[in-house]
Amino acid sequence: MPPILRKIRLDHPGIDLIITNTPAPSSVENTLRNRIDLALVNLPIQKKQLKTTMLCAEEMVSIFPAGTRDVPDEITPKDVAQQNLLVEQQSGAAYSLVMGWLSGHGQRTRDPMPLGTVEALKSAAASNLGMAIVPEVAVATHLSDFIIRPLRPALSRTLALIEHRNKPNEPALEIVRNALLGLRAAAAIKPKTHLPHIRKLGRARSDDR
């Protein structure tokens, strides 16, 4: 994601690009209310007012604080049941995904600690508050900060681009949208970084910022 944003800023300095990182429910609500132009969220999203474009699948992994001892090579629901589990907030799709993975294999955990975003999960895990299940791409550049293990059975989620169906297709919006849609091609080549959502875009200007 950072290379995409960097290229937009370099190639189109007149676009007023504002990036924020909030939980998916907030991104959906802000898109519905036209407070933001585009958002990257995880499916499922069931809002008829939104246009949804699937981008790629994200493999989920488990992360433990650096220095945790005797971590298995693969993490099963039974292993998670023995840990303090950090999860995204209950209203998000990731919460249902993770809890469904656990309950679908007959495992009950201690009450999980709900937090706001993947970044919050990473910060809490790094602070030795527990383990978390996050997208692999979210920790691809933080390998030394955590002990990272694959899940068994495997778990993945789908990343999508959403926008309001009634939003006018202004030039600045089209430029940013096309850049983000490039993630579909990039997914087959290399991992992506954690993806925030895009707030309101200003009209393209002729002067450099």
75 and 146 in a common domain:
yes
pLDDT of residue 113: 93
Q: Specify the higher pLDDT residue, 90 or 199.
A: 90
133 and 102 in a common domain:
yes
pLDDT of residue 22: 85
Q: Is position 190 within any domain?
A: yes
Q: Averaged over 188-209, what is the pLDDT? A: 44
pLDDT of residue 117: 87
Q: Is position 207 within any domain?
A: no
Q: Is position 147 within any domain?
A: yes
Number of domains composing the chain: 2
Q: Specify the higher pLDDT residue, 190 or 145.
A: 145
Q: Any idea which residue has 């030039």 for tokens?
A: 171
146 and 66 in a common domain:
yes
69 has a pLDDT exceeding 80: yes
DSSP sequence for 39-78: EEEESP---TTEEEEEEEEEEEEEEEETT-SS--SSB-HH
| Angle at alpha carbon of residue 156, lines to 137 and 176, rounded to 5° | 55
Q: Averaged over 119-126, what is the pLDDT? A: 95
* Residues 6+ away with beta carbon under 8 Å from 181: 53, 55, 161
What percent of the chain is modeled with pLDDT above 90? 62
Mean pLDDT of the residues in the chain: 86
Task: Write out the residue range of the structural domain in which residue 126 sits.
Answer: 58-156
Alpha-carbon span 31 to 186, nearest angstrom: 25
Q: Per mean pLDDT, which range of 16-20, 80-84, 109-113 is the poorest? A: 109-113
Q: Is position 209 within any domain?
A: no
101 and 151 in a common domain:
yes
Instruction: Characterise 10 by phi-psi region: left (phi > 0), alpha (psi -120 to 50), beta (else).
Output: alpha
83 and 34 in a common domain:
no
Q: Is position 31 within any domain?
A: yes
